[in-house]
Structure formats: structure tokens, C-alpha cells
Amino acid sequence: MAKTSFDYCLGSADSNLKKALTAALSDAGFHASGEARNVPEFLRLLRLKQPWLAVIDTRIPPGNIKQLASIVEEDNLSASLFVDTGNKGLSGYMQLKWPVESAVLAAVAETLCHEYARKRKLHSRIEGLENKLKERREIEKAKGIIMKKMKLDEERAYRYLQKKSMEQRISLGEAACRIIDGSS
């Protein structure tokens, strides 16, 4: 039983497979947030619902399951679990050969969701660090401009930038951007 409530979207044109997967995942504590019968519809559904997990029949029409897998991965749409119903090798992605035991399906689905949550957290942290680095570069550039224009040393240029930031009630990074843009 899933300790955390995860939702999933199901992509398959096979009604029997959909029933079996839905029953197994429901019993494990997952809840369905949508299903689609073809790749374009499925991608729209993933973008709209933003589920934790995409459960995908490897025979979903039309065609290129590797391209679908790549899009889901590159666009970070959700964790993905491919159910191999047609002997389609899909290296590099989590796939289970159908039929599969309900307990195995549930365990794999839950693990994928937890790993996806960890991945999202890491992406968020990286983005925050990149923003801080960008701000630090802007502050350094603004200090250079102040040093050149006002003939100040680095410490006094930084204090000038801090003073502008406080006077205008904006962040140090925003004050630096304004100086770089020439509006302050």
C-alpha cells in the first residue's frame, strides 16, 4: 500500500490492460487522474494533469514509444513506467513485462514516484543555486561599474550598492541589475 498518495495517468488503447492496471494501482493506494488512448492525447493529458506517474502501454498508438519516452523524460513530465505488452525493448527506461504481479507493479510504481520526487527536489535546488550564482555575477559586475565610474575601491563599491539597495527597498541583486542597466 502506497504510504503517500500518488496519482497517475494511464496511456493504453487496450481496455483489458487498462482495467487490470487500474485495479492493481487502486488497490495499492494510487489514484487515477486520467487516461488516454493515443500518444498525442496522452502527452496533452500529462501536461495538463502533471501526475506523479505515467503508466504507458508500449503498444500505445501511434508508433514511436522511444520518442514518447524521450519527451516524457526531457520535459520532466512525470515518472514513467512502461508496461511491455508487445516485446518492444525500451532500454534506459523502467519497464515491466506484462503480465506482472500486482505487488511488483505497486512496489515499482511507488519507488518511481519517490525517485521522481527526489529528482524534482534536486532540480529545484539546482535552479536556486543557478539563480544565486547569476545574482552574484550581477553584483560583481555592478561593483565593477561603480568602481570605474566613482573611482571607489571594491569594499566601498559594495557598500554603495548595499546603500542603494536599502534606499530603494529592493534586493541587492535588483540594485545591481539597475546599475548594470544604467537606471540607477
CATH code at 33? 3.40.50.2300
- The pLDDT confidence band at residue 92, using thresholds 50, 70 and 90, is confident
pLDDT of residue 1: 44
Number of domains in the chain: 2
**Boundaries of domain holding 62:** 7-100
pLDDT of residue 2: 45
What mean pLDDT is reported for the chain? 93
Residues 96 and 143 in one domain: no
Task: Answer whether residue 72 is part of any domain.
Answer: yes
Residue among 31, 57, 30, 54 at smallest CA distance from 44? 54
Residues 140 and 83 in one domain: no
**Looking at the chain, how many residues does it have?**
184
Residues 85 and 159 in one domain: no
Q: In percent, how much of the chain has pLDDT > 90?
A: 89
Task: Answer whether residue 2 is part of any domain.
Answer: no
Question: Per mean pLDDT, which range of 3-12, 19-28, 65-74, 137-146 is the poorest?
Answer: 3-12
Range 104-118 average pLDDT: 96
Task: Answer whether residue 143 is part of any domain.
Answer: yes
pTM for this entry: 0.76
CB 71 within 8 A of CB 47: no
Residues 89 and 29 in one domain: yes
CB 11 within 8 A of CB 36: yes
Question: ∠ at Cα 23 (89, 31), nearest 5°?
Answer: 90
Strand locations in 47-94, DSSP E?
53-57, 79-84
CA distance 32 to 34: 6
- The pLDDT confidence band at residue 149, using thresholds 50, 70 and 90, is very high
Residues 17 and 68 in one domain: yes
Range 42-46 average pLDDT: 97
Residues 37 and 95 in one domain: yes
Question: ∠ at Cα 171 (165, 175), nearest 5°?
Answer: 50
Residues 88 and 26 in one domain: yes
Range 38-49 average pLDDT: 97
